[in-house]
């Protein structure tokens, strides 16, 4: 189905609502709007709300299509509400929170979800802060903005498996303690998600949005965190729970981590293996350690070890599949 046709169908479902396409995936199209669905007094030119629309698929039987749309929209909405109820604050470390956009409204039969906008727009190369969703403060764009600071002659000579020197890491590449701490915090948040027995299903650096919060530092933690507890003033929000599901299976959690590893390698190949993925997994381990310490229950430590062992097996399966083709 063409994008124009999808937009026309969305406008029929949302009359008098200004819509601007942000992105389009295989399953859904994302719009931004300045209109609140049921509180018009909150509407202003500076307001941004996100509308996720699952259009009908012409290749599916109409009855089956409606059932799938209803199920996936309902499932995503329920998981967002569950995470909101389980997270009593925005404290990822001490309260075990998982930060997600607030669910504002849903139209389940028509596949519509209205969400809070999180994040901000990163500065473009000219230093102008433009409202361009290609430049949203996703983890991917944030890391790319740092990686672009590498001098071209160094960048062109680096290979994926190169180990970068400490001096180069600090002075040129700017992969500093703030980045390490931020990725550690994201690892802790993913651990919190899995402790709730929820698997994201599509963990990528594009589906982690960074929200400015200058008051938040990594307090109450001294495991794998540098003395500088700053995260560059960011809190990570997980988005796009369209493929998420509830599961307490070790296999599902290991696959979730494996998909994240592969996504990081795909978008940040120079620094994924030796830095980014190492820091994320260190944070993941820390999340289980914190839960174990808080509840005085060593079963969380054992659960983490079991997940990582299974992750090793999943990696082997992935390599074998790549070799066979």
pLDDT in tens, 102-141: 999 999 999 999 999 998 888 654 444 556 667 889 999 9
Is there a single domain that holds both residue 44 and residue 188?
A: no
Domain boundary (117, 142, 172) is at: 117
**Residue 153 belongs to a domain:** yes
Phi then psi dihedrals of residue 212, to 5 deg: -65, 130
The H or E element spanning position 224 is none
Residue 115 contacts residue 73 (beta carbons within 8 Å): no
Residue 235 contacts residue 210 (beta carbons within 8 Å): yes
Collapsing DSSP to helix, strand or coil, 235 comes out as strand
What is the rounded distance in angstroms from the CA atom of residue 208 to the CA atom of residue 172?
25
Is there a single domain that holds both residue 299 and residue 177?
A: yes
Q: The dihedral of CA 165, 167, 168, 174: what is its sign?
A: positive
pLDDT of residue 8: 85
Domain count, the chain: 2
In the chain the first and final C-alpha atoms are separated, in Å, by 31
Is there a single domain that holds both residue 36 and residue 91?
A: yes
- Structural domain containing residue 28: 1-117
- Write down the mean pLDDT value for the chain: 83
What is the rounded distance in angstroms from the CA atom of residue 92 to the CA atom of residue 143?
21
pLDDT of residue 318: 78
What is the rounded distance in angstroms from the CA atom of residue 175 to the CA atom of residue 68?
43
Integer-rounded Cα radius of gyration of the chain = 21
**Residue 106 belongs to a domain:** yes
The residue with tokens 């696959």 is 255
User: Residue 282: is its pLDDT beyond 80?
Assistant: yes
Q: Which residues contact 205 (CB under 8 A, 6 or more apart)?
A: 138, 139, 140, 143, 263, 264, 267, 268
Is there a single domain that holds both residue 153 and residue 292?
A: yes
CATH code: domain of residue 29? 3.30.200.20
- According to DSSP, residue 134 is labeled G
Is there a single domain that holds both residue 29 and residue 72?
A: yes
> Is this prediction's pTM over 0.95?
no
What is the rounded distance in angstroms from the CA atom of residue 24 to the CA atom of residue 33?
15
Is there a single domain that holds both residue 99 and residue 162?
A: no
Is there a single domain that holds both residue 165 and residue 308?
A: yes
Average pLDDT, stretch 211-217? 65
From the candidates 91, 161, 162, 202, which is the catalytic residue? 202
Is there a single domain that holds both residue 99 and residue 196?
A: no
**Residue 122 belongs to a domain:** no
Is there a single domain that holds both residue 139 and residue 91?
A: no
Residue 173: band (very low, low, confident or very high) from pLDDT cuts 50, 70, 90: very low
Known active-site residue 230 = no
Collapsing DSSP to helix, strand or coil, 18 comes out as coil
Is there a single domain that holds both residue 105 and residue 210?
A: no
Where do the DSSP E strands lie in the chain? 20-24, 29-33, 49-53, 103-107, 112-116, 198-199, 208-212, 234-238, 245-246
Q: How many CB atoms lie within 10 A of CB 315?
A: 15
Give which of 47, 42, 30 is closest to 138, Cα–Cα: 30
Is there a single domain that holds both residue 297 and residue 155?
A: yes
What is the rounded distance in angstroms from the CA atom of residue 93 to the CA atom of residue 294?
11
Is there a single domain that holds both residue 152 and residue 97?
A: no
Question: 240-280 pLDDT, tens per residue?
Answer: 999 999 999 999 999 999 999 999 999 998 888 888 999 99
């Amino acid at each position: 189905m063409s994008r124009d046709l999808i937009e026309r169908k969305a406008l029929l479902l949302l009359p008098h609502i200004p819509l601007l396409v942000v992105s389009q995936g295989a399953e859904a199209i994302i719009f931004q709007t300045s209109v609140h669905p049921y509180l018009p007094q909150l509407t202003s030119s500076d307001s941004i709300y996100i509308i996720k629309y699952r259009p009908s698929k012409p290749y599916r039987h109409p009855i089956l299509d409606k059932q799938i749309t209803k199920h996936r929209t309902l499932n995503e909405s329920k998981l967002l509400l569950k995470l909101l109820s389980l997270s009593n604050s925005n404290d990822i470390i001490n309260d075990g929170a998982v930060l997600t956009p607030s669910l504002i409204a849903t139209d389940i039969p028509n596949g519509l979800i209205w969400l809070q906008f999180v994040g901000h727009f990163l500065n473009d190369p000219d230093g102008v802060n433009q409202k361009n969703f290609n430049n949203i403060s996703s983890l991917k764009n944030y890391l790319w903005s740092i990686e672009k600071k590498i001098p071209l002659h160094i960048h062109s000579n680096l290979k994926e498996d190169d180990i970068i020197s400490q001096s180069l890491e600090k002075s040129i590449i700017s992969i500093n303690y703030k980045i390490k701490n931020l990725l550690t915090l994201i690892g802790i948040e993913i651990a919190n998600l899995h402790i709730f027995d929820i698997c994201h299903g599509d963990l990528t650096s594009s589906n982690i949005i960074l929200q400015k919060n200058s008051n938040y530092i990594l307090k109450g933690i001294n495991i794998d965190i540098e003395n500088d507890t700053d995260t560059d003033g960011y809190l990570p929000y997980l988005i796009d729970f369209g493929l998420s599901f509830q599961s307490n299976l070790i296999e599902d959690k290991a696959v979730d981590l494996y998909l994240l590893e592969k996504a990081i390698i795909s978008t940040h190949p120079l620094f994924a293996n030796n830095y980014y993925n190492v820091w994320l997994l260190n944070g993941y381990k820390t999340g289980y350690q914190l839960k174990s310490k808080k509840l005085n229950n060593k079963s969380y430590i054992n659960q983490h070890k079991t997940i990582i062992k299974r992750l090793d097996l999943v990696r082997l399966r992935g390599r074998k599949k790549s070799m066979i083709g």
